[in-house]
């Protein structure tokens, strides 16, 4: 055996011993590789948070099926009206055509609209009124504002409170949903002439006001806003 063969054998033995010390030996008791899928399933099947769902067209998407148990018919309008009433039937008809409609949310929004419209009318703010009223109601309000301007009068109105906003009517006419609310409020209102004299109302007396207003919306429209289409007063 020549010198070169002896050197190569010695080098091979050295490399084998180094690999053995680094990698170790398999004894049959080694722990199996970590199973990420099994661990994820054991923790409840959580999805990989790095997976991103691409957005799709949602503007025309049909309402998603409810995940909770449906509300029993007897409790559907609890706190608003009793089952079988004309109001309940009207609400049912609207929801059947527009599953996103929520009368309680509507009432909350109507309270804000009521105050905005009353104050806009007192201030002669036609721009604000045009966005909140139907064309017929706007013409009526505009005529009253013009009459005040002609007589050089100004109206001062201040809300003290809105004590009640109660849904009293609901109806679906073809594609148009109509909801009627009775507002009970307290406010101070006075109309002054050019010289500042009060010609109507009072500047310091709180008046109890009851208004009955009807709002409408085309439920097939993408515009979510309701407009005032009728006004009445119980005072």
Q: Which CATH number does the domain housing residue 181 bear?
A: 3.10.450.240
Task: Tell me if 19 is assigned to some domain.
Answer: no
Measure Cα distances from 114 to 76, 107, 131, 169, 183 in Å.
26, 10, 13, 16, 8
pLDDT at 152 over 50: yes
Q: Is residue 75 part of a domain?
A: no
* Beta-carbon contacts of residue 24 (< 8 Å; ≥ 6 apart): none
202 in any annotated domain: yes
The pLDDT value recorded for residue 13 is 54
Report the pLDDT value the prediction gives residue 223, as an integer from 0 to 100.
87
Q: How far apart are CA 189 and CA 220, in angstroms?
A: 39
Does any domain span residue 1?
A: no
> Does residue 9 sit within a domain?
no
Q: Flag whether 50 is in a domain.
A: no
* 56-94 pLDDT tens trace: 232 223 344 444 455 656 678 999 999 999 999 999 999
Domain span at residue 135?
A: 84-234
Tens of pLDDT along 8-39?
556 555 555 554 444 444 444 444 443 333 33
Number of domains the chain is built from: 1
Is the sign of the CA dihedral 188, 197, 128, 147 positive or negative?
positive
Put simply, whether the predicted model's pTM sits higher than 0.75 gets the answer no
Q: Is residue 117 part of a domain?
A: yes
Residue 12, domain member (yes or no): no
pLDDT (average), residues 113-129: 96
Grouping H, G, I as helix, E, B as strand and the rest as coil, residue 63 is coil
């Amino acid at each position: 055996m020549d010198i070169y063969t002896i050197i190569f054998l010695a080098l091979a033995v050295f490399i084998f011993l180094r690999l053995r010390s680094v990698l170790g030996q398999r004894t049959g008791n080694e722990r199996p590789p970590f199973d990420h899928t099994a661990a994820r399933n054991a923790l409840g099947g959580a999805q990989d948070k790095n997976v991103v769902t691409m957005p799709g067209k949602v503007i025309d998407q049909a309402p998603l099926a409810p995940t909770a148990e449906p509300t029993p018919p007897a409790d559907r309008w609890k706190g608003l009206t009793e089952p079988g009433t004309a109001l309940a039937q009207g609400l049912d008809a609207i929801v059947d055509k527009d599953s996103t409609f929520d009368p309680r949310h509507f009432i909350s929004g109507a309270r804000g609209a009521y105050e905005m419209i009353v104050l806009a009318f007192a201030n002669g703010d036609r721009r604000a009124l045009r966005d909140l009223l139907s064309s017929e109601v706007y013409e009526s309000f505009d005529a009253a504002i013009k009459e005040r301007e002609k007589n050089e009068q100004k109206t001062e109105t201040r809300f003290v409170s809105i004590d009640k906003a109660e849904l009293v009517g609901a109806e679906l006419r073809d594609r148009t949903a109509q909801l009627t609310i009775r507002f009970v409020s307290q406010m101070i209102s006075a109309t002054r002439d050019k010289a500042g004299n009060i010609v109507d109302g009072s500047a310091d007396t709180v008046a109890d006001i009851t208004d009955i207003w009807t709002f409408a919306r085309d439920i097939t429209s993408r515009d979510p806003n309701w407009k005032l289409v009728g006004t009445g007063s119980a005072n």
